[in-house]
Amino acid sequence: MVLLAMSCHKLGPDNVNRRRAITLLSALGFLLIAVMGCRPSDRLRTYPTSGRVLDADRKPLASGTVLFESVEHGLIARGQIGADGQVKLETYGDGDGAVLGRHRAVVIPGISANVDRDANSRRMAPVHTRYTRFEDSGLEFEVREAAENVFEFVLSG
């Protein structure tokens, strides 16, 4: 394709239509390569990964998001924390899980009902700020091919 584009410049002004055709074909070729690179078959394989998040008193964190960052690939798997503290991760969608290997994790607090007050009041789930940064959280998990891949994170103060 680069050769087509280079040969386009060698054509004289009387070959305008040919130059346009070559430019169009080059652009279509690059577009085809870009689209082919986004096929689902080029995705890394994922493995079901789930777990739960508990506070310092070992009570389920009732809301928020867990993010796993693959150390090797940089891909992010994410999951919403349910009222029971349970999380099911997905990388590409539909709860597909996370890619193989070591992951760093963070917990992003969500809004939950404040059980200490009336049922209509809402507050942020109690999560120390260190758990919101990959470099500081200390939360890690290794996704393995022949394993159940269930994590449990206990967030101390």
- Tell me the per-residue pLDDT of 23-44, one tens digit each, with 9 for 90 and over: 656 665 555 555 454 555 789 9
Cα→Cα distances 58→32, 40, 43, 154, Å: 52, 39, 36, 7
Per DSSP, the residues of 70-96 read ETTT--EEEEEPPTTSEEE-BSSSTT-
**Full domain range(s) for residue 6:** 2-40
Question: Which CATH number is 99's domain given?
Answer: 2.60.40
Cα gap 43→122, rounded to integer Å: 39
**Looking at the structure, do residues 72 and 27 belong to the same domain, yes or no?**
no
- Position 19 pLDDT exceeds 80: no
Q: How many domains does the chain have?
A: 2
pLDDT tens-place string over residues 67-107? 999 999 999 999 999 999 999 999 999 999 999 999 999 99
Considering the entire predicted model, what is its pTM?
0.69
